Structure 1
Amino acid sequence: MAGKGTNPIPGRPDGAPSELSQDISQWRVGERKRLIGLRLAMSADERASKTRAIAAGLDRLIGSPQGRIVSLYWPFRGEPDLREWSTKIIEAGGQIALPVVIAKAQPLEFRLWAPGEPLERGVWNILVPSSGRVVEPDVVVAPVVGFDAANYRLGYGGGFYDRTLAAMTKRPFKVGVGYAGARLATIHPHAQDIAMDAIVTDERGSHEH
């Protein structure tokens, strides 16, 4: 069932595949703008409360991080800020990696990082580790702009996570995180889109395949 405010492609049933890629691309642009606007309109307190619920859901889903590498992200444009949760991962014996954009249309690079280690401004002015060993994480936590019941994520349109996951030799556990209001009936996935293994929001612990 679609979340409130879902905006299906005009003239098409919810979830119906379209042969017109341009239609879908234009629809995704509109949905990104709408959903990012919704999360930016939240108060800081509301965003923090929802983020705590998401962190608790991740704890239940992932379990002990000891000996595992968990890829997170530096928060951007109102995304859930999981930096406090990343500290708990390290305290529990896990390691944190952050994604780095190397070049357009190329896979991401994951670099180990811990709080206090140097960061630099990367693409889109997002902070990324200045150094840090390049790794393939055991768990990839990816922010979503939107998501659907099949665990497909709507991102920013660059295809970086899909491209990266397709190229990895390790098969990590893939978790999308976002606010419950970002749920869509379908993102109208393309062949190159890769579904997450689970989605965690502030209203549900997870939805797994």
Structure 2
Amino acid sequence: MTQDRDNAGGRSYAAPPCLAHEIDPTYGNPLAVDPAQAQDVARWRKAQRQHLLATRKTLSVADHKSVSARIARNLDTALKDRCDGARGKVLSMYWPIKGEPDLRGLMTNLHAAGVTIALPLVETKAAPLVFRLWTPDTQMIRGDWNIPVPPADAQRLTPDIALAPLVGWDSNGFRLGYGGGYFDRTLEVLDPSPIKIGIGFASAKLTTIYPQPHDIAMDVIVTEAQSFCCA
């Protein structure tokens, strides 16, 4: 499928149809595409998501630790090469769930190097994520899906650089997430648009995710094997 560039916002969007309503009915279909086509792609995405998540679970604890360490090294290098190490910047990271690469050690190291770390969380259902300041001393609380998040009195921030965990990804930078649309919805409204870095496993690469209008391409993809620009 073809891709279009929104010149005003500098974001890469995908061709129709929009399928987020399959997961979240409030996340509408602005192009009113053929419902049969939308359902076909939605079913394909659901199957791929289930397969990739099941494959991720087969990693042993030792292998997961090793792969996470390699991803952290590649991310650290990418930040140094492209963003001066993100020093003086707000970098949105994430607390790992469901077998995602664990970058918490790098979070601590980046904080010590002068990077401001923020973590995303859901404050309102079916709305953009918000970002709260994290430090190694932050007393975390349980948020949506039981994910540890900074408390409500933590400073709210807008990221200059945003990491997005990938269930699947393609070489054009489009990500297959968990299906709720939260990251795409969030990246759509952030102004100015942050540098977008997708984090995932090399084995999760797909030929295409059949990107939809709400899908926003990553600027950089980082895996344990490599990092590369997607523009």
Percent sequence identity over matched residues? 44
Describe the SS at the equivalent of 1:169. coil
Following the alignment from structure 1 to structure 2, what is the Cα–Cα distance between the partners of residues 168 and 161? 11
1:124-173: CA deviations, max 9, x gaps? 11111113111111110110000001100000001111111111112111
TM-score, reference length from structure 1: 0.89
Mapping of residues 194-205 of structure 1, within 5 Å: 194-205=216-227
Following the alignment from structure 2 to structure 1, what is the Cα–Cα distance between the partners of residues 224 and 38? 32
Match in the other structure for 2:136: 115
Which of 201, 206, 209 pairs up with 1:184? 206
Following the alignment from structure 1 to structure 2, what is the Cα–Cα distance between the partners of residues 149 and 51? 21
Which has the higher mean CA deviation after the structures are superposed, 142-151 or 47-56?
47-56
Match in the other structure for 1:161: 183
Match in the other structure for 1:21: 38
Return the offset for 1:17: 7.5
Which of 33, 48, 69 pairs up with 2:50? 33
Mapping of residues 1-209 of structure 1, within 5 Å: 20-63=37-80, 64-130=85-151, 131-209=153-231
1:176-205: CA deviations, max 9, x gaps? 001101000000011110000011001112
Following the alignment from structure 1 to structure 2, what is the Cα–Cα distance between the partners of residues 24 and 208? 23
Say if 2:68 and 2:103, in contact at 8 Å, map to a contact too.
yes
Return the offset for 1:119: 1.1
Runs of 4+ in 1 over 2 A off after TM superposition: 16-19, 205-208
RMSD of equivalent CA atoms: 1.4
TM-score, reference length from structure 2: 0.81
1:59-112: CA deviations, max 9, x gaps? 121112211111011100000010000011111111110001122220000001
Following the alignment from structure 2 to structure 1, what is the Cα–Cα distance between the partners of residues 109 and 228? 20
Describe the SS at the equivalent of 2:197. strand
Say if 2:119 and 2:132, in contact at 8 Å, map to a contact too.
yes
Return the offset for 1:208: 3.1
1:5-59: CA deviations, max 9, x gaps? xxxxxxxxxxx98751111111111111110111111001111111111111111
Say if 1:113 and 1:129, in contact at 8 Å, map to a contact too.
yes
Aligned residues: 194
Which has the higher mean CA deviation after the structures are superposed, 105-114 or 115-124?
115-124
Return the offset for 1:207: 3.7
Describe the SS at the equivalent of 1:206. strand
